Amino acid sequence: MIIGIGSDLSDIRRIEASLQRFGDRFTHRVFTDIERARSERKPGPAASYAKRFAAKEACAKALGTGMRDGVFWRDMGVVNMRSGQPTMALTGGALVRLHEITPPGMKPVIHLSLTDDHPYAQAFVIIEALPADAPA
């Protein structure tokens, strides 16, 4: 059962300008340690940061809150499964909201697709609820 859908398009040039203007102040306010480490390993990290920025926006939309009601930037982080497939790890207000929208007896699964083609980065999030006893 799908309980949330969100998408976002981010302009890589805008993220690059924020990186140049605000540097660590921007990255530490918006991105998790894992996201910063992964993005900084890339040559020209703006595209990587832009995909993660879009993922946060898409996830907030899928949660039905946007960036309000206790949901903050760093409550949502892009992480990779062992297979390399990206997903979202939620904490704080985002995790609380995820539990609020998940029906009783179900477990949430967050699907994430990321792409970029300069000058844009795009993310698409689907939050699915599966029976709690379904295999992971």
Domains, the chain, ordered by start: 2-131 (3.90.470.20)
Q: Tokens at residue 88, please?
A: 């979202």
CA-to-CA distance for 135 and 25, rounded, in angstroms? 41
Predicted local distance difference test score (pLDDT) of residue 135: 76
Binding residues for Mg(2+), by number, are 8, 57
Does 136 score more than 70 pLDDT?
Answer: no
Work out the percent of the chain whose per-residue pLDDT is above 90.
91
Task: Extract the annotated binding site.
Answer: 8, 57
Question: Does residue 68 carry a pLDDT above 90?
Answer: no
- Residue-wise pLDDT for 31-40, tens only, equals 999 999 999 9
pTM of the model: 0.94
